[in-house]
Structure 1
Amino acid sequence: MPSSTLKLFKVFMVALLSIMAGAKTAEFGASFLEESEIFVRSSDDDGD
């Protein structure tokens, strides 16, 4: 039976990999939207 330290390590690794995968997916999505000119940030948008 795995020790509680090993279980905690596995949970930490799964959480870390999930966060990293989500960040990469968001980065890819934002890049795709910007390249397709669907969403492009404008520098003069100061959000009155």
Structure 2
Amino acid sequence: ANTDLLITGAEVGASKLAKADKLGVETADQGVIWQQLIDAGIA
């Protein structure tokens, strides 16, 4: 399975971010994702 998006929290490790970057995986902050879900009426 391929990963398309890595949702990161407050304590994401630098190595995890580096690996995502190396593999071309998009990252998104957990708080931003939650706010988008709330704004869309999903959460």
**TMscore range, shorter length:** 0.3 to 0.5
Q: Which is bigger in relative contact order (C-alpha 8 A, separation at least 6)?
A: 2
Q: Which has the higher strand share?
A: 2
Q: Tell me the TM-score normalized by structure 1.
A: 0.31
Q: Tell me the TM-score normalized by structure 2.
A: 0.34
